[in-house]
Structure 1
Amino acid sequence: MKKKKLILDVDTGVDDAQAIMMALAAPNVEILAITCSHGNATLDNVCKNTLRVLKTCNRLDIPVYRGCSEPVLGRKLNSGDFHGKDGLGDAPDPDAPGLELLQKRRAAKAIIKIVNQNPGEVTLVATAPLTNLAVAAQLNPSFCKNLKALYIMGGNSESRGNITVCGEFNFVADPEAAFIVLDRYTCPTYIATWEFTCKNILPWSFCDTWLAQDTEKARFMEKIYSYTRKMVQTERFQKELVSGPGFNSCDTYAVAAAIDDTLVTESVEVAVTVELEGAHARGMMVLDYMDLLKKKHKVFIMKSIDQEKFKQLLMNALK
């Protein structure tokens, strides 16, 4: 079986770690590179966290690239300490690999080179602010045509926010980058929005079973997830999840969809853009159901998934 070639663009907090581990465990996937962006933590911490996840999975052979440390316009958004100050639950590892293991080439240039060397074969999965992807498009506009597909965790479809009134974190962290990517990337594009992840959450009982696996990976995940889990299980946060309380591993949805073409059972195809102005709406994804934007390129907004397949991918990630 020919393996799917993936590049993962991440801002490694806990859910990115979950997504990376899911991709690493998939037998039909070859990860060509992991590129790091500002977002859940400082860029240095994101790079360290990514290397730490790879070490846990014995996959430090995968090249990791340092990307952008701030948004296109430099209006940096403070992500707070949702995943802890370091992005991995403030559960340090004294033996964690160092930044000397990073590749010398920068993320945007690495994306361009790898995609152009494998025309029509590489799927790019972005679970971070889209700065690296936007810079790549600006450096080499034609490379986008060589992508097989693009999967994004970000944006929103019903104007529900998780960082501002009606903005999702990854898009609000760099609205200009999100605008550029949704405008210039014309390959098949699939988006797992904030509302989509909320409506496809899993019960906490599954999370308990998932973390109870007797493996080093499961113990690592339980350790780094403890801080965030306590926070998200509060009544205030659970009310934000649209469809009631549950376990929401946001970034894994985009990776799961890239791994398994049959995972998404319902989607809608529509042209989209990003609002760049407004006191409340900056960074909000706009869905053009009336075709007023006259955009030829439309994206697939995920609606529902096969939850049993999703659960199995999560379970496999920690085996």
Structure 2
Amino acid sequence: MKKKLILDLDTGVDDAMAIMVALADPNVEILGITCSHGNTPLENVLKNTLRVLKVCNRLDIPVYRGCAEPLLAGKLHAGDFHGKDGMGDVPDADAPGLELLQKEKAVQAMIKIISENPEEVSLVATAPLTNLALAVKLEPSLPKKLKALYIMGGNTESRGNTTVCGEFNFLADPEAAHIVLDCYTCPTYIATWEFSCRNSLPWSFCETWLAQDTDKARFVEKISRHTRKMVQTERYQKELVAGPGFNSCDTYALAAAINDTLVTESEQVAVSVELAGTHTRGMMVLDYMGLLNKKHKAFIMKKIDSEKFKKMLMDALK
């Protein structure tokens, strides 16, 4: 049977790469893509998602409009990193229009799709977790119907990439992240900021990857120019946990969802999110002492098989 996925995205450059990895795997069926605020305002996210699907000739996949703002926090975007439009500020005059969106909204679609496929769907969340938080509040039994949840977000060592201790996706809606980590009791796998840094790939691989003579490779090369330039700045180099390298954060969570053997090391621990700290708001908390009295423990990814990951990326642009 094919692996059934819902992708919850804030489509910027790394989300685009994740979509393309999923579409390249013949054993994966994407049941829907739900969109959220995050890397860029929601209208851009919707346009970007359709753009990626057009490049991959997969506009048959339903795309749903989700939340345009966080539950309580102020809006946060990553225009300096991904470009103001989230995709490197290289517009396409022939990009698909928003009339292709489904009329049903993201949260309702998420609940419906999961309910119609009980214990068969894995949800891959690479955006702020607003859509997921609202879905579980509307349908508390939703996590029991999920096969698994894969999240790109949070941190394990209080290393921030947006504030001193805050990783972008969790910081963009800390209340939503708190709700999701409390309420989603299905098997949960988290690709954190430090994890993605430590498993980054050499720039020499990135050059080979983008040099493939295909329309997909040319598309990714074009939309990622701004981001690749930003990665070379002094500020970003200071954020990196490991040495400099190519780090497509969101793609790690997606790749783990479709390849059970990709992650070679992980640890299981109860997690939560700090909501009130002056410097630590949005930081993921790991409860090694069991003081939170949480029965549910998440799998925190540690290491991957980098050769398998490289192959998945190469296949995505063929």
TM-score normalised by structure 1 residue count: 0.99
Is the 2:73–2:174 Cα contact (8 Å) retained in structure 1? no
Distance (whole Å) between structure 2 residues aligned to residue 255 and residue 291 of structure 1: 29
Equivalent residue number for residue 269 of structure 2 = 270
Which residue in 2 is equivalent to 1:61? Answer: 60
In the alignment, residue 215 of structure 1 is paired with which amino acid?
T
Partner of 1:42: 41
Q: Secondary structure at the match of 1:141?
A: coil
Structure 1 residue matching 2:110: 3-state secondary structure: helix
Verify: 1:145 aligned to 2:149, yes or no. Answer: no
Q: 1:90 aligns to what?
A: 89
User: Offset at 1:73?
Assistant: 1.2
8 A Cα contact 2:128 2:173, kept in partner: yes
Structure-2 residue corresponding to 1:27: 26
- For residue 304 of structure 1, what is the aligned residue in structure 2? 303
Q: Which amino acid aligns with 1:205?
A: S
CA distance in structure 2 between the aligned counterparts of 1:44 and 1:91, rounded to whole angstroms: 16
Residue aligning to 1:234 = 233
Aligned to 2:210: 211
Question: What displacement does 1:238 show?
Answer: 2.1
Q: What is residue 117 of structure 1 aligned with on the other side?
A: 116
**CA distance, structure 2, for counterparts of residue 157 and residue 175 of structure 1:** 15
1:13 paired residue number: 12
Alignment of structure 1 residues 151-162 onto 2, 5 Å? 151-162=150-161
Distance apart, 1:52 and its partner CA: 0.2
Secondary structure of 1:158's counterpart equals coil
Alpha carbons 1:271, 1:298 under 8 Å: kept: yes
Look up the equivalent residue of 2:147 and give its one-letter code. Answer: K
Q: Aligned partners of 2:102, 2:277: CA distance in 1, in Å?
A: 39
For 2:237 and 2:186, how far apart are their aligned partners in 1? 35
> Which structure 2 residues correspond to residues 282-301 of structure 1 after superposition, within 5 A?
282-301=281-300
Q: CA deviation at 1:74?
A: 4.7
Deviates more, 1:241-250 or 1:72-81: 72-81
In structure 2, what is the Cα distance between the partners aligned to 1:85 and 1:79?
8
- Aligned partners of 1:154 and 1:168 also within 8 Å: yes
Amino acid at match of 2:34: T
| Post-superposition offset of 1:97 | 0.2
Counterpart-to-counterpart distance in 1, 2:207 and 2:142: 43
Q: Spell out, residue by residue over 1:44-76, the C-alpha distance to the aligned partner (whole angstroms, 9 max, x if none).
A: 000000000000000000000000000011522
Q: Answer yes or no: is the 8 Å Cα contact 2:73–2:172 preserved in 1.
A: no
Segments of 5+ residues of structure 2 without an aligned counterpart are none
Of 227-236 and 117-126, the range deviating more from structure 2: 227-236
Q: Which residue of 2 aligns with 1:280?
A: 279
Which secondary structure does the structure 2 equivalent of 1:81 belong to? helix
Contact 1:15–1:251 (8 Å) recurs in 2 = yes
How far apart, CA to CA, are the structure 2 residues paired with 1:307 and 1:253?
A: 10
Answer yes or no: is the 8 Å Cα contact 2:78–2:86 preserved in 1: no
State the alpha-carbon separation in 2 of the partners of residues 252 and 51 from structure 1: 18
- Indicate the residue corresponding to 1:181 in structure 2: 180
Look up the SS of the partner of 1:229 in the other structure. helix
**1:222-251 CA distance string (max 9 Å, x none):** 000011111112233123211110000000
Deviant stretches of 4+, over 4 Å:
none
The answer for unaligned runs of 5 or more in structure 1 is: none
In the aligned structure 2, how far is the partner of 1:75 from the partner of 1:237? Answer: 23
Residues 64-101 of structure 1: CA distance to partner in whole angstroms, max 9, x if unpaired? 00000000115222433311010000000000001100
Contact in 2 for aligned 1:81/1:87 (Cα 8 Å):
no
Identity across aligned pairs (percent)?
A: 78
CA RMSD of aligned residues (A): 0.7
Match for 2:231: what amino acid? V
SS at match of 1:82: helix
- Partners of 1:291 and 1:17 lie apart in 2 by 37
